[in-house]
Structure 1
Amino acid sequence: MDTQVADTLLGSLIDGRYRIRGRVARGGMATVYTATDERLERTVAVKIIHPTQAPEARSRMAGFVERFTDEAKTIARLTHPNVVAVYDQGTHGGLPYLVMEYVRGRTLRDVLAERRRLNPDEALAIAEQMLAAIAAAHRAGLVHRDVKPENVLVAEAPAGGPANLVDSVVKVADFGLARAVEASAEEENGNQLMATVAYVAPELVTEGRADTRTDVYSAGIVLFEMLTGRVPYDGDRPVDVAWQHVDRDVPAPSTLVPGLHRVLDDLVQRATRRDPGARPADAGALLAEVQVARDDLGNANSHTAVLRRLGDDTTPMSQPTMAVAAVRPAERPAWARLPEGGGGQRPHRRRAAPESVGVGARLAGARTQIMGSPRGRLAIAAVAVVLGLVAALGGWWFGVGRYTVAPQLVSLSKADAEAQAARAGFTLAYDQPRYDEKAPKDSVLGQNPASAARIVKGGTITLTLSLGPERLPVPDVVGKDFELAQAELTDAKLVVAKGAARYDDNLPAGVVVATEPKMGTVVKPGSKVTVVLSKGKAPISVPNLVGKNINEARATLAQLGLTPVETYKDSDKPKDEVLGQSPADGTGVEKGAQVKLQISKGPPAVVVPRVIDLPCQQAKQVLESQGFPTTIQLNPNGVARFQNPGENSQVPPGTPVTITCL
């Protein structure tokens, strides 16, 4: 049986109301569990502060709990669709906890780990909802202080599909939690930086102060990471990363991802200026800029800065570009709309038509003059011929001349496809790659236009590359409720089956004890994972039988309703003594279970050597050298005439031998 390390909180009841069902995640300051609110019969999330985050001194602990409670009350007053709601708070075992809304989905960190970076459409959609939540906090006088992808939850889209994040619901968590912990750390250790260094604002590093513009800076770094797939700075030590925020300007996203529009560069650079006074005043101001930027990028008819249609072959394209879908203000939720203008769109004025008096007469006179002259008629004919030739050549060029056929790139490796496209003068672009069971990684699965299809000379061919066969590790669901484990395994594209439940001394009933295949095993999507659930502690505890006689052991097992299974082996221990058992003593089993016993057959027999006719003292020396205690009768200096046991007798080791000497 595999040894399981149990979480002592699993199955426990907090405050007589919240039954802990499973562990969701463990962070730097707290652990998050799923729990059932037994009073309202709903699933909630319970976040409990780690013991290492709470001050150890009794007086400081009281201050920490008081600050934590005040922060929880402030958070609970935030009512916003993009803020993770707080339902309750308290202490358990001396540690503060929060009871929050349970959001089924993933963190933005998980999304970026899977996708690496997002397209501008999705990045701006997530940023809008994230900033709407932070703006609500700023209006309530609350600064988040730790805006990062780990604190942004991306819930499942209402439509159900995770492919497009534009329709997903975004919620921000941990408002005020960093401040409560930081206040206690300042009392204990002096001023201490608690923010995550990859997203920390310069003023937090140099002065230790934070306001609404600090959250604006961190949100700008999160937007930078969504667009580029990385944070702007890294280093060997956290302090090195933190001081880069102070000493350097955040680079434009387009320097890392060519083709991003300048509107996105301006948006990120305004939010991440080192001088707090040069940033938007709060998250609401940055939200308005994000919404305007999203509308500007999405409305190709109203803004000439938006990219021209990819299919318009007359448009010169100097570099690859990224487009953003238009979002009309009416399609946003009420809380995310921009203020309406006074009267909507202003009507376009029509220019007054020029005076038309006498125009017809003048045109008629000019026509008569030209057609009445032979030169005029010849000029008209020449113009007609030239226009005809231009039209014919233009028609040939636009219909046939500028086109060629696309080469065959499917099944080639990425390097070979790039080389062949370069030789033919084509530019390559790449669509989202996809998994394929047969095609090796980085081979071409598809192309647009297809091979032999018409394409403009020097045009762009879009390739879809293979990610190779999709393989994924079995997630760790041991210690979680079946419903939570089933949801997690299903989200991982695995098929869940229930195996035979078994007793477990550490985990409560209904909790996952083990999976087959085990956690971390790499499998195909759609593979079956058998989940073994705990039946709780077994009703019978196996007694300690080692050292007892087999008859006594049998009687003890019979009283408990257990069945002995006996095997015998040679041993130095006395015959019929129990040498070992399985399961070990204290193991929980059910009635009728088998207990395997190893029983001693006693020491193996040895042969008594012949000492008759040997001098008595020599005979004694031979016997004792082979482990036989020897007794001499009659004449110790005589010759051995009799021995008992007799020669060649098989006896247990250490059997006494008597010799008679005459």
Structure 2
Amino acid sequence: MDTQVADTLLGSLIDGRYRIRGRVARGGMATVYTAMDERLERAVAIKIIHSTQGPPGRAGAGNFVDRFTDEAKTIARLTHPNVVAVYDQGTHAGRPYLVMEFVRGRTLRELLTERRRLNPDEALAITEQMLAAVAAAHRAGLVHRDIKPENVLVAEAPSGGPSNLVDSVVKVTDFGLARAVEASTDHDNGNQLMATVAYVAPELVTDGRADARTDVYSAGIVLFEMLTGRVPYEGDRPIDIAWQHVDRDVPAPSTLVPGLPRLLDDLVARATRRDPAARPSDAGALLAEVQVARDGLGTANSQTAMLPSVSDGPAVSQPTMVVAAVRPPERPTWARLPEGGQPTRGRRRAAPSAAGDLGSRLAALGTRLTGGGSGRLGVAAVVVVLGLVAALGGWWFGVGRYTTTPELVSMSKVEAEAQASQSGFTLRYADPRHDDQVPRDGVVAQEPASAARILKGGTITLTLSLGPERFELPDVVGKEFDLAEADLVSAQLEVVKGTARFDDGLPEGVVVATSPEAGKEVRPGDEITVILSKGRAPITVPNLVGKNLNEARAQIAQLGLVLVEPTYKESDKPRDEVLGQSPAVGSGVEKDAQVRLEVSKGPPQVTVPRVIDLPCQQAKQVLESQGFQVTVQFNPNAVTRFQNPNENAQVPPGTQITIGCF
């Protein structure tokens, strides 16, 4: 039994106009309700963005409301029969909302849950309408960023019959909403919105950037799921699934559903290539390929291809599914792009009635020309002229209007622009990328490739180099190895363990240092040596300062340490007294670690002056004035006859001097 939590919005009136009737669905960003527009008396859908309370936490983030309003205006201007229309927007209780067209139908996700997979004709019909909507957005400069079955609505077919998916109306929703949320979270939370990982394009995982080709990739994954009943990649964590899009090619649908036509494998492969430059440039280009494939599928199906039926039940006899051209002769108008924007590559052939009318006119012309003798000459002339026109037309459309693409790769941007201008081509630029061989602003890739056929005056898409990728090595000192390794691997660096060492400040297993050091410039693929702590060393360095050198030497030897030759310096401390030590007192070291001592040379020496032959009292005054201690022997009133130490002797300050007077 399902348990529902009471929704306080049910029955409420928003903006004095929209009466909430029921809740349709709740997602990570918003909740969708059905409502009645009491002013115009029509049913609408209202998408209300979640409040700042709770896990979504988006509506109040930074200037999100302003961004959301701008996006709503952009979407409202996007008028297309396959796009869910936006009627109004506003805020209710501080939460932004959109008022949208109410589509009576189910999501593509619900259809796939019920049927598991669709037959090829149904899958292509839905894909065609889905791409028509996305192509209209791309022409308006808008990228969807979150194409998935949950955002594709399949309405009831106008011809009736819930199972007639070929003739159903497909509507795409949530244009621009992902972009508005992404713009808010980028600035406020430091995060970037990523489309559902099952459908995410590789460049959105690696670079976080999206363009029209990102939508092309997601549409290709949706087509793959409709054909096979599953997404190409699965995993225990979303990040594992996302990186499979980067590291692996999408498998051919026929490897999972034997018997699918080769043209469907090729179509999925073109749309889901990992290199964005190798995909169709936008949804309009992919739409043209889908329409061509759909026409080709109709021709192939005239011979009736047999596929196994879809069943999850026990292995019993099941009816087979016949892939046949079950669509009506002309697709409904809402299933095609407006004529002005429809790609010519996928445009249908002329209707039989028009062809028949042209045949009647040619037959009448033939009758008039063959009515007499001169008519036969006219026929010959017409045949010759028509032959020349056909030949020239065939040459022009097949060869004449085409030329070859010049080689622009490895040129600088300035050189490439000059070359393209000289040859009459227009340039456009794809997102730049790093390259170790091509300097910054050099051409890394071009589409079409060099020497390929291209219309004269056509457009060449160039990818410029950002130069070799360089970035500062992140600081992982103080982190446990697993966390440090994850940080470095995510930066596309190779991690090796160096020789562990003791450290007084960091516990065992924590990173002590890296080589190169944090902050140094590195590039993807560089090898980083990580040095781990072994914890505190087993021997504690004692305090040796103030001790005599011999005493300090004995204590060092007793601990199993090695004393390096001491360094002497002048000091007022007694000679051989320890003034400083390294390692510091209390440091942890291991056995045989070296200890360095700084030892006193004693006070600086002074020269003893000559006082012999001076009166005794005068000699005493001279010596005491220079800081010596004086001892007088014999007669203090006589003349000084000897001194000890002798004159010019080098002695420490304050030395005792003895003088003899008689």
TM-score, structure 1 normalization: 0.51
Return the offset for 1:532.
Answer: 0.7
Report how many aligned residue pairs link the two structures: 414
Q: Secondary structure at the match of 2:403?
A: strand
Q: Secondary structure at the match of 2:216?
A: coil
Q: Distance in 1 between matches of 2:59 and 2:612?
A: 92
Q: Distance in 1 between matches of 2:30 and 2:565?
A: 73
2:384 aligned residue: 385
1:427 has 2:426 as partner: yes
Q: Distance in 2 between matches of 1:542 and 1:575?
A: 23
Say which of 216, 233, 245 aligns to 1:324. 216
1:252-302 Cα distance to aligned partner (Å, 9 max, x none) = 779xxxxx9988x98898898556575169xx99x969999xx99993477
1:488 has 2:487 as partner: yes
Say which of 121, 127, 138 aligns to 1:299. 127
Alignment of 1:201-350 (within 5 A): 201=65, 249-250=70-71, 278-279=97-98, 299-300=127-128, 304=132, 307=135, 324-325=216-217, 326=219, 327-328=222-223, 330=226, 347-349=326-328
1:445 aligned residue: 444
Return the offset for 1:566.
Answer: 4.3
1:216-239 Cα distance to aligned partner (Å, 9 max, x none) = xxxxxxxxxxxxxxxx5xxxxxxx
* Structure 1 contact 449–462 (Cα < 8 Å) conserved: yes
Q: Secondary structure at the match of 1:624?
A: helix
1:569-620 Cα distance to aligned partner (Å, 9 max, x none) = 1322112221111111111122332222222232243321212123444433
Q: Secondary structure at the match of 1:658?
A: strand
Using a 3 Å threshold, how does the CA distance of structure 1 residues 369 and 466 change in structure 2: closer, same or farther?
Answer: closer
In terms of mean alpha carbon deviation, does 645-654 or 415-424 score higher? 415-424
Q: Which runs of 5+ in 1 are unaligned?
A: 1-73, 75-130, 147-174, 180-192, 203-231, 233-244, 255-259, 311-319, 335-343, 355-359
1:176 has 2:68 as partner: no
Return the offset for 1:435.
Answer: 2.8
Q: Secondary structure at the match of 2:70?
A: coil
Q: Distance in 2 between matches of 1:602 and 1:409?
A: 79
Q: Which amino acid aligns with 1:324?
A: V
Q: Distance in 1 between matches of 2:626 and 2:325?
A: 119
Using a 3 Å threshold, how does the CA distance of structure 1 residues 415 and 300 change in structure 2: closer, same or farther?
Answer: farther
Q: Distance in 2 between matches of 1:361 and 1:405?
A: 41
* Structure 2 contact 405–451 (Cα < 8 Å) conserved: yes
Quote the sequence identity (%).
54
Say which of 192, 196, 200 aligns to 2:61. 196
Return the offset for 1:144.
Answer: 6.3
* Structure 2 contact 50–59 (Cα < 8 Å) conserved: no
Q: Distance in 2 between matches of 1:422 and 1:366?
A: 47
Q: Distance in 1 between matches of 2:91 and 2:324?
A: 37
2:612 aligned residue: 612
1:603 aligned residue: 603
Q: Distance in 1 between matches of 2:545 and 2:360?
A: 127
* Structure 1 contact 428–460 (Cα < 8 Å) conserved: yes
Return the offset for 1:345.
Answer: 12
1:534 aligned residue: 533
Structure with the greater alpha carbon radius of gyration: 2
Using a 3 Å threshold, how does the CA distance of structure 1 residues 267 and 422 change in structure 2: closer, same or farther?
Answer: farther
Q: Distance in 1 between matches of 2:429 and 2:598?
A: 67
Return the offset for 1:395.
Answer: 1.8
1:409 aligned residue: 408
Using a 3 Å threshold, how does the CA distance of structure 1 residues 420 and 365 change in structure 2: closer, same or farther?
Answer: closer
Q: Distance in 1 between matches of 2:603 and 2:124?
A: 93
1:499 aligned residue: 498
Q: Distance in 2 between matches of 1:517 and 1:631?
A: 68
1:624 has 2:624 as partner: yes
Q: Secondary structure at the match of 1:390?
A: helix
Q: Which amino acid aligns with 1:447?
A: Q
* Structure 2 contact 608–650 (Cα < 8 Å) conserved: yes
Q: Secondary structure at the match of 1:642?
A: strand
TM-score, structure 2 normalization: 0.51
In terms of mean alpha carbon deviation, does 559-568 or 373-382 score higher? 373-382
* Structure 1 contact 632–661 (Cα < 8 Å) conserved: yes
CA-based RMSD: 5.2
Q: Which amino acid aligns with 1:532?
A: I
Q: Secondary structure at the match of 2:579?
A: strand
Q: Secondary structure at the match of 1:428?
A: strand
Return the offset for 1:408.
Answer: 4.3
1:554 aligned residue: 553
Return the offset for 1:567.
Answer: 0.4
* Structure 2 contact 72–89 (Cα < 8 Å) conserved: no
Q: Which amino acid aligns with 1:299?
A: T
Return the offset for 1:374.
Answer: 3.9
Using a 3 Å threshold, how does the CA distance of structure 1 residues 614 and 527 change in structure 2: closer, same or farther?
Answer: farther
Q: Secondary structure at the match of 1:599?
A: strand
Alignment of 1:581-596 (within 5 A): 581-596=581-596
Q: Secondary structure at the match of 2:415?
A: helix
Q: Which runs of 5+ in 2 are unaligned?
A: 5-25, 34-47, 112-122, 139-210, 232-322, 331-350, 354-358
Q: Secondary structure at the match of 1:620?
A: helix
* Structure 2 contact 633–661 (Cα < 8 Å) conserved: yes
1:651 has 2:651 as partner: yes
Alignment of 1:449-468 (within 5 A): 449-451=448-450, 453-468=452-467
* Structure 1 contact 495–526 (Cα < 8 Å) conserved: yes
Q: Secondary structure at the match of 2:580?
A: strand
Q: Distance in 2 between matches of 1:289 and 1:280?
A: 21
Using a 3 Å threshold, how does the CA distance of structure 1 residues 270 and 652 change in structure 2: closer, same or farther?
Answer: farther
* Structure 1 contact 300–306 (Cα < 8 Å) conserved: no
* Structure 1 contact 474–523 (Cα < 8 Å) conserved: yes
